[in-house]
Amino acid sequence: MESYAAKVRRFNRFYVAHIGLINQNYFESDLSFTEVRLLYEIGERDNATAQFLSDKLHLDKGYLSRTIKSLIKKDLLRKEQSENDARTYFLCLTAGAQRLLNESHRKVENQIANMTAHLNADDKVLLVQCMETIQYLLNK
């Protein structure tokens, strides 16, 4: 009988293979997955700081700093100094980064639609409920 850990590993392999198909679209822009994830997180909130991103994404501060500098050099990010604390800089998307993310999101949504096209409406609801259950249980 398959152990609990073996079942989790099997699911992880299955899921990573499926999600890998989705993530390939992000790389059409010559950005790494980490760079795209940073842009996404910055775009999701106002006043994102390097400290916040380091904590949220569990990234080494040196690696994060180099990645931010690279995104600034590529004209995808800009820094804005806080009006309240001159030591704090907020990271903001450029218009080019926003366009890139919008296009990536559109492509991924199309891929998800294609990947689940064989499911009926009830199956799609069940799929999302199962995903939400996994998130809930792992965040407990």
How far is the C-alpha of 75 from the C-alpha of 77, rounded, in Å? 6
Mean pLDDT (whole number) for 40-55: 93
> What are the contacts of 86-89 at 24+ separation with CB within 8 A?
88/49, 89/49, 89/50
What per-residue confidence (pLDDT) applies to 92?
Answer: 96
How far is the C-alpha of 51 from the C-alpha of 48, rounded, in Å? 8
How many helices and strands (H and E) does the chain possess?
6, 2
Sorted by where each begins, the domain ranges of the chain are 4-138
Instruction: Provide the pLDDT confidence category of residue 28 given band limits of 50, 70 and 90.
Output: low
What per-residue confidence (pLDDT) applies to 135?
Answer: 94
Q: In this structure, which CATH number among 1.10.1060.10, 1.10.10.10, 3.40.50.300, 3.40.50.10800 belongs to the domain 4-138?
A: 1.10.10.10
Q: Rounded to two decimals, what is the model's pTM?
A: 0.74
Instruction: Provide the pLDDT confidence category of residue 33 given band limits of 50, 70 and 90.
Output: confident
What per-residue confidence (pLDDT) applies to 1?
Answer: 80
How far is the C-alpha of 68 from the C-alpha of 37, rounded, in Å? 12
- Report pLDDT digits (tens) over 72-108: 999 999 999 989 999 999 999 999 999 988 988 888 8
Instruction: Provide the pLDDT confidence category of residue 29 given band limits of 50, 70 and 90.
Output: low
CA distances from 30 to 26, 35, 111, 113, 123 (A): 8, 10, 19, 24, 35
Instruction: Tell which wins on pLDDT, 64 or 18.
Output: 64
